Structure 1
Amino acid sequence: MDDKKLNEKESLELIAQMIQNTKFRMAKNTGTPFLIWGYTTIIVSLLVWFLLKETGNYNWQWLWFMLPVTALPFTLWIDRKQQKMVKTYIDRIVGYVWTVFGVGSFFVSWVAILFWNLSILFIILLMMGMGTALTGLIIKMRVVTVCGALGALASLGCIYVRGIDQILVFALAFVFMMLIPGHYLNKIAKQDN
């Protein structure tokens, strides 16, 4: 832009356009990671549940570490293939939110392994639900915010359901917390193209 000073109306129009551009970018670039992590989590959850149910061998719990091992490289690969756009401040904030919640979840998982007295599924669901809700609030998309809140609330199901069936609650919560927002964001991105 030139050194021209904007009047009040032009400033408001510029701000509104920047917000709309950010929403479009977020919809375009945020839906796919939600889907990658959502589907991977549901598949791994059902696999762990099935193997525990069939064998009774709790060593199958180690399969949970397939999540970061498979979903993270796939997310990075997809991110590299997507159309490059200028990163905005909002993009960086959403990235920071997921970095903090992702690293926190990984750390809490190891603490649960070492001390065994944590309800790890409850904690992970609560953290991921909060991350999704925060993402929705940041990008101003009510569906994403509500789905994240539902995921966080679903964490209570892991307190009331006992045994390995907690894993089924966990998997179901990821449908609301990751799959619905991911498909919604991708649908918005396709409509805007």
Structure 2
Amino acid sequence: MEEKKLSERESLELISQMIHSTRKNLEVGSGNQFLYWGYFTTALSVLLFLLVYYTGDARWNFGWFTMFLFWGFMLWEQRRQVAEVITYTDRAIMQVWKVIGSLFVLTVLIMCLLTFYYGRVDFSLMFPLSLLYCGIGVSITGVVIRSRLVTWCPLVAFCFAIYMLMAYTIHQSSTVDWNLYFGLSFLVMMVLPGHYLNRKARQVC
């Protein structure tokens, strides 16, 4: 069979259609992953802040591990709601977030191993690392779907992550306020882009 060569214009149109399809899947496809993760994380951060602040018991911070349960729920939802068309860019975004998810799992596993080895470990380091991991994932997603707002919204998260890491270098321990910084970061990094993408989707549909 003779292969049909696409002209430059046809190639650009094909790429545009793929990006448009990916945007639609991301925006409306499975209820918008950004909004699910953004609202859940923001609500959890406020809840844990209140529990730690009013009880004085830092053990409430272990509630952050419920994010792994939420992650499992989201994976189950994704398998139940499969997009009609999966483009190359869809797969690229899925692979990016698969790597990001692997980083989370790897980081927690290493921290747990170090806990057994040293007898103690500071899990608050997950705050800046999580902001960096998710921020990179969101920014790459924004680049793929050609959305400047999605690409640059994680800057707030990056700023808080740098502040937290700098606090470690000058031997300052984490505070209960870090929960709120974390929630605010997700509010700007995921909830804002999520609503923006849904609004754009409604205009197109």
TM-score bucket (shorter structure): 0.7 to 0.9
Q: Taking every aligned residue pair, what percent have the same amino acid on both sides?
A: 34
SS, match of residue 163 in structure 1: coil
SS, match of residue 153 in structure 2: helix
SS, match of residue 116 in structure 1: coil
Distance in 1 (alpha carbons) for counterparts of 2:70 and 2:8? 50
Amino acid at match of 2:162: L
Partner residue of 2:201?
A: 189
Q: Is the 8 A contact 2:131 2:182 kept in 1?
A: yes
Distance in 2 (alpha carbons) for counterparts of 1:79 and 1:190? 24
Amino acid at match of 1:116: V
Q: 1:38 to 1:130 in 2, by over 3 A?
A: same
How far off is 1:140 after superposition?
Answer: 1.1
Partner residue of 1:121?
A: 127
How far off is 1:37 after superposition?
Answer: 0.8
Distance in 1 (alpha carbons) for counterparts of 2:156 and 2:27? 20
How far off is 1:190 after superposition?
Answer: 1.4
How far off is 1:14 after superposition?
Answer: 3.6
Distance in 1 (alpha carbons) for counterparts of 2:4 and 2:98? 39
Distance in 2 (alpha carbons) for counterparts of 1:30 and 1:136? 17
Give deviations 1:50-107, integer Å, cap 9, x for gaps. 111111212211211111213541463266346x322111111111111111221233
Distance in 1 (alpha carbons) for counterparts of 2:102 and 2:4? 45
Partner residue of 1:104?
A: 103
Tell me the number of residue pairs that the alignment of Structure 1 and Structure 2 aligns.
191
For the pair 1:175 / 2:180, whether they are aligned, the reply is no
Query: How much is the aligned-residue C-alpha RMSD, in angstroms?
Result: 2.7
Moved over 6 A (4+): none
Amino acid at match of 2:187: V
Gaps of 5+ in 2: none
Q: TM-score, normalised by structure 1?
A: 0.83
SS, match of residue 66 in structure 2: helix
Gaps of 5+ in 1: none
For the pair 1:140 / 2:139, whether they are aligned, the reply is no
How far off is 1:28 after superposition?
Answer: 3.1
